[in-house]
Amino acid sequence: MSNSASVLEDLLHTLPDLRSQIYFKPSLTALSHAMEDQVLAGRDRPLVIANFQRERYYRQEANRYLRIAARTDQVYVLAAPETDFKHQSDHYETIAFEPTDGLAQEWHLVVLGTNYASCLICRERQPSATEADIPPTLGLDQGRRFEGIWTFDRQVVCTAAQLLLDRILQYRPELATKIATVQQTFFPQTTTGFQGVDPGPFAERLVTYLQAGQYKLLKAYRSISMQEQKERLVNSIMIAVRRSLNPDDILSVAVQELGQALQASRCLIYRCKETDTQVPIQHEYRQSEVASLVGQTWNLGSNPLFQAVAAHKEQRMVEDASASQWSLPGQPEVTPPAPVQEWGIGAWLMVPVVHQNRLLGMVEVHHCGGAYRWSEASLELIEAIATQIGVALIQAEAYANLEDFNQQLEALDRTRSNLIAITGHELRTPLSTIQVCLESLASEPDMPLELQQVMLKSALSDADRMRKLIQDFLTLSQLESGRVRWHLEPLPIQECVDLALSSLRARQKGTSLPEITTQVPAELPLVNVDGEWVVEVLAKLLDNACKFTDPEGKVLIEAHPNGGQMLEVTVADTGRGIEPNRLEIVFDRFYQEEGALRRSTGGTGLGLAICRQIVLGLGGQIWAESAGKDRGSTFHLTLPISPNDEERTPTPTPTPTQPRKKQRSAKGT
Ligand code: ADP
């Protein structure tokens, strides 16, 4: 039954003089409504045939057709069914044609009365490729195009009515008698043109629709211009980002662009974290009549708006900042912070700069002079900018980290080269001695026995020095690489001191040492340390103290809490002392005052470097003090007190090393 033929084509074929025209959907709606209004307003009982293409379009007008059906019993409504539209003879005749029928592509309305006639016979044009690209938000439905005929010419109307009635009969042959009466009633009339037609309603309808179209166009222009403004801003920020990886440049461009776009009284952008209580204001846009905040310290800790934004990581706005109480979403009422009065802020908006849930900064917009509400479009714009700033800051941060990392690598490379050179030199020195001694022994078999003994002794002593050097070097490498696993346990420091002393005595057996005294009170709290490593530090410090002090001198070991959660241990001697400008570098690798070649005291020059690594690794600090040459030296180290033992910590007793900040003291960090 489906007939793919087009009624429009049939009409144009029957009346070849007709010229079809293009109509946009709103014009057809306007014309159809005007034609229907004429039926509703008139006294005539005309024939009305309406083809709605699809059931959904008919549904929008169903009530109107009930009213039309109250005026005339000759109403025929056609549509392709989508839900429950079917052939029916109720208030009016409904004809449910098949979706494949040519009628599904056409919009028809025929009104044929005794006094007037009008018709609209149109076919929908498929959108071209470019039209199909128009986003639905810009009114694709409004842009639907039809081509066809709209006329009051009775002859044309009658022909169109006949064509449509024929199509109706194909679907509903049972209506033949009813349709025959229509034809008898209306078709013999011969009135033509605008006779009996009042064009007023048509003009009014068309003007209304034209106005509505203009309004929609205006809205579309506005949205396009907002979009364009947003894209321009985002672009200029992107350009600034590409030009510079300096966060200050990025923020200063962003604040100017954004402030200008919003015509804000004042706009601020700063970097911050959730925990910040204050920030200095550096980047600002402002209107000339508003006071500048640049150089001010902005209080964040006491600002409930900042706190709310930082906590939720989403924008918040206070429309009337001067109200006696602020009510922020999900929070109890709060008193406005001081800047509202001080800086004349009427409305206050904060939008966070967030990256992966991390607060990186804040965009603030102030409206000075009364309450204000920022539009959705403005909020969207600010949020888009805040997102761009976030990306830019992360990029800048990554770049800074990379630079830092690069510098560290370069420094590491320099250190490595130095180390290889120094180590090579330090190892070669004893090796050459050993080689010379052994070669002499081998090449001169007649060498006197005493000289042979001296040679052997010298070779053995340098071999031992090499062994120590390699051992210390390996220990230091292990410590510096961070591969040491500390076995922390609560220990009395006295135990470590005793072990260090007995190791010293075992090593220096037979040599006369200076007098060594210990002053370690019994009630001291335990330290949370790795005992073996602490003994190593103390042994090295004691070794040095004895090495650089005459046997007539004195060495004193003391320990006392230093007022915090640390225990301080000092190893003081009355020996040769250290020059003030050397107090720090004595902790460097291979530092020896006499230089490796003129060494009289033995040692590897790595002892203090090892001590520093151990103490830092245990969470303490180490530094040296000395009043200068021949005035003795004091080495201090702090060690963490065991947490379970903190309450035992007695109040510190003043000792010769306190107060801590003494002249010429330097921390070996
Ligand atoms: P070394 O094996 O030479 O002792 P260290 O790293 O232990 O190496 O010490 C480095 C340098 O610091 C020593 O060579 C010495 O010049 C200086 N030094 C260390 N301890 C003392 C001290 N108690 N008195 C004077 N100088 C010291």
Q: pLDDT per residue over 108-131, tens digit each? A: 999 998 878 899 999 998 866 555
330 shares its domain with 185 = no
Model pLDDT for residues 534-567, shown as the tens digit of each residue: 999 999 999 999 999 999 999 999 999 988 789 9
Query: What type of residue sits at position 112?
Result: L
Distance 103 CA to ligand 1 centre (A): 105
**Closest approach atom of ligand 1 to CA 606:** 6
**More confident of the two residues 235 and 68:** 68
Distance 269 CA to ligand 1 centre (A): 53
Distance 586 CA to ligand 1 centre (A): 6
Residues 431-470, buried b or exposed e (16+ Cβ, 10 A)?
Answer: eebbeebeeeeeeeeeeeeeeeeebeeebeebeebbeebe
Domain tally, the chain: 4
CATH number of the domain within which 558 lies: 3.30.565.10
Q: Which of 56, 58, 17, 63 is nearest to 40 (CA)?
A: 63
Distance 419 CA to ligand 1 centre (A): 19
293 shares its domain with 387 = yes
Angle between helices 7-14 and 154-171 (to 10 degrees): 140
Which of 369, 399, 429 terminates a domain? The answer is 399
Contact predicate 657/568, CB 8 Å: yes
Contact predicate 340/318, CB 8 Å: no
Environment class of residue 156 by beta-carbon count within 10 Å: exposed (0-12), middle (13-18) or buried (19+)? buried
Phi, psi torsion values for 89, nearest 5 degrees: -120, 90
618 shares its domain with 470 = no
pLDDT band at 318 (very low <50, low <70, confident <90, very high): very high
Q: What per-residue confidence (pLDDT) applies to 648?
A: 55
Query: Which residue is listed with tokens 């001590």?
Result: 611
In a domain, 653, yes or no: no
**Closest approach atom of ligand 1 to CA 592:** 14
| CA atoms of 130 and 132, how far apart (whole Å) | 5
Ramachandran assignment for 138, one of left (phi > 0), alpha (psi -120 to 50 degrees), beta (any other) = alpha
Residue nearest to atom 3 of ligand 1 (CA): 605
Query: What type of residue sits at position 274?
Result: E
586 shares its domain with 605 = yes
Contact predicate 85/79, CB 8 Å: yes
91 shares its domain with 175 = yes
| CA atoms of 394 and 398, how far apart (whole Å) | 6
Q: What sign does the dihedral 570-572-577-580 (CA atoms) show?
A: positive
Checking if the pLDDT of 662 tops 50, the result is no
Checking if the pLDDT of 139 tops 60, the result is no
What number is the average pLDDT over the span 642-661?
50
In a domain, 149, yes or no: yes
Contact predicate 313/337, CB 8 Å: no
Q: Which of 233, 170, 203, 582 is nearest to 382 (CA)?
A: 233
| CA atoms of 93 and 85, how far apart (whole Å) | 11
Enumerate the β-bridge partners of residue 148.
Answer: 21, 122
**Closest approach atom of ligand 1 to CA 603:** 2
| CA atoms of 146 and 122, how far apart (whole Å) | 6
What number is the average pLDDT over the span 361-387?
92
Alpha-helix runs per DSSP H in 42-117: 55-69
| CA atoms of 305 and 131, how far apart (whole Å) | 47
What number is the average pLDDT over the span 215-244?
78
Checking if the pLDDT of 241 tops 90, the result is no
**More confident of the two residues 196 and 615:** 615
**More confident of the two residues 572 and 329:** 572
Model pLDDT for residues 435-490, shown as the tens digit of each residue: 988 898 888 888 888 898 988 998 998 888 888 888 888 898 888 888 889 999 99
For residue 485, the 8-state DSSP code is -
249 shares its domain with 383 = yes
218 shares its domain with 235 = no
85 shares its domain with 154 = yes
CB-CB neighbours of 168 under 10 Å? 22
Q: Which of 313, 317, 315, 325 is nearest to 374 (CA)?
A: 317
Q: What per-residue confidence (pLDDT) applies to 189?
A: 54
Contacts of 530 (CB under 8 A, 6+ apart): 486, 487, 488, 489, 618
Angle between helices 493-507 and 531-547 (to 10 degrees): 50
In a domain, 2, yes or no: no
CATH number of the domain within which 207 lies: 3.30.870
Mutate to test the pocket of ligand 1, among 586, 589, 610 (most ligand atoms within 8 A of CB): 586
Q: What per-residue confidence (pLDDT) applies to 345?
A: 95
Q: What sign does the dihedral 15-18-24-26 (CA atoms) show?
A: negative
Contact predicate 32/126, CB 8 Å: no
Residue nearest to atom 12 of ligand 1 (CA): 586
172 shares its domain with 59 = yes
Residues whose beta carbon lies within 6 Å of some atom of ligand 1: 540, 544-545, 548, 573, 575-576, 578, 586, 591-593, 603-609, 633
| CA atoms of 639 and 570, how far apart (whole Å) | 11
Residue nearest to atom 20 of ligand 1 (CA): 544
CATH number of the domain within which 451 lies: 1.10.287.130
Q: What per-residue confidence (pLDDT) applies to 596?
A: 45
In a domain, 136, yes or no: yes
**Closest approach atom of ligand 1 to CA 575:** 24
pLDDT band at 212 (very low <50, low <70, confident <90, very high): confident
130 shares its domain with 264 = no
CATH number of the domain within which 289 lies: 3.30.450.40
In a domain, 62, yes or no: yes
In a domain, 668, yes or no: no
Distance 512 CA to ligand 1 centre (A): 19
The CA R_g of the chain, rounded to the nearest whole Å, is 49
Distance 541 CA to ligand 1 centre (A): 9
> What percentage of the chain carries pLDDT values higher than 90?
53
Q: Element (H or E) spanning 539, and its range?
A: helix 531-547
| CA atoms of 306 and 529, how far apart (whole Å) | 43
Q: What per-residue confidence (pLDDT) applies to 528?
A: 95
201 shares its domain with 243 = no
Q: Which of 575, 605, 603, 571 is nearest to 587 (CA)?
A: 605
In a domain, 387, yes or no: yes
Q: 393 lies in which domain range?
A: 229-399
To the nearest 10°, report the CA torsion of 18, 21, 27, 33: 10
Contact predicate 399/298, CB 8 Å: no
Distance 609 CA to ligand 1 centre (A): 10
Distance 643 CA to ligand 1 centre (A): 33
Which of 428, 451, 480 terminates a domain? The answer is 480
What number is the average pLDDT over the span 79-92?
94
Residue nearest to atom 8 of ligand 1 (CA): 605
pLDDT band at 250 (very low <50, low <70, confident <90, very high): confident
26 shares its domain with 143 = yes
In a domain, 181, yes or no: yes
Distance 655 CA to ligand 1 centre (A): 24
